[in-house]
Amino acid sequence: MLKGNELISRRDFLGTVVNDFCRLTINAVKATAPGKSLIRPPGAIEEIAFLAGCQRCGKCSGACEDRSIHIAGPDEGVLVGTPYLVPDEQPCTFCLRCIEVCPSGVLEKRESSQSYAIGVAKINQDNCLAYHEQLCSSCLYACPMGIKAIELRDFRYPIIRTECCIGCGRCIKACIAENPAIIVVPCPTKKE
């Protein structure tokens, strides 16, 4: 093979082709992925590495007894075939079966339960009954982290302690407001 006027080996040529392909693929993923902020299953590694490493096998979704894990469809671009959660629809119970069956290692076993956080709850005070002078603390009682994650200011107004919230979505399901007063957004550290 010729590189300019220089002869290069087949190994060097293939190495250059593979490196260029990988660089282009990573740049395409970076250009496409940040537009979408999906909530990944517990134990998910950093998003770009997740997209590059996920085998898109769907085993995590199949292992989820609560059917919390969905698979991105063909209209999702580079995200197609990757697992995500919608805690507003179905909370995650953190059974961690998804990690056990993941063949690619993009869902990792971790030390503490807090390190499995998939998102953070946010309260919309316009919809929250407690902020409209009605007694309600259903989100607090539904939260598996309890008062660590949801504090009742003045024994009445729920405030999310973001450092302790794991983003499971149980508070959303428990919310009795006509329009749910809580949403879960991806953890800031999970975004690129």
What digits encode the pLDDT tens for the residues 49-73? 999 999 999 999 999 999 999 999 9
Tokens 């971790």 belong to which residue?
110
Global pTM value: 0.76
Strand ranges in the chain using DSSP code E only, listed in sequence order = 2-3, 6-7, 69-71, 83-85, 119-123, 150-153, 157-160, 182-186
Output the average pLDDT for the chain.
Answer: 87
Q: How far apart are alpha carbons 35 and 38 in whole angstroms?
A: 10
| Confidence at 21, pLDDT banded by 50, 70, 90 | low
| Confidence at 32, pLDDT banded by 50, 70, 90 | low
Q: How far is CA 153 from CA 7, 141, 157, 179, in A?
A: 73, 15, 5, 22
pLDDT recorded at residue 192? 40
Q: Any idea what the Cα angle at residue 167 is, between residues 164 and 170, rounded to 5°?
A: 110
CATH numbers and ranges of domains, the chain = 38-111 (3.30.70.20), 117-187 (3.30.70.20)
pLDDT recorded at residue 12? 74
| pLDDT at residue 191 greater than cutoff 80 | no
Q: Which of 10, 186, 3, 166 is nearest to 86 (CA)?
A: 186
CB contact at 8 A, 99 and 107: yes
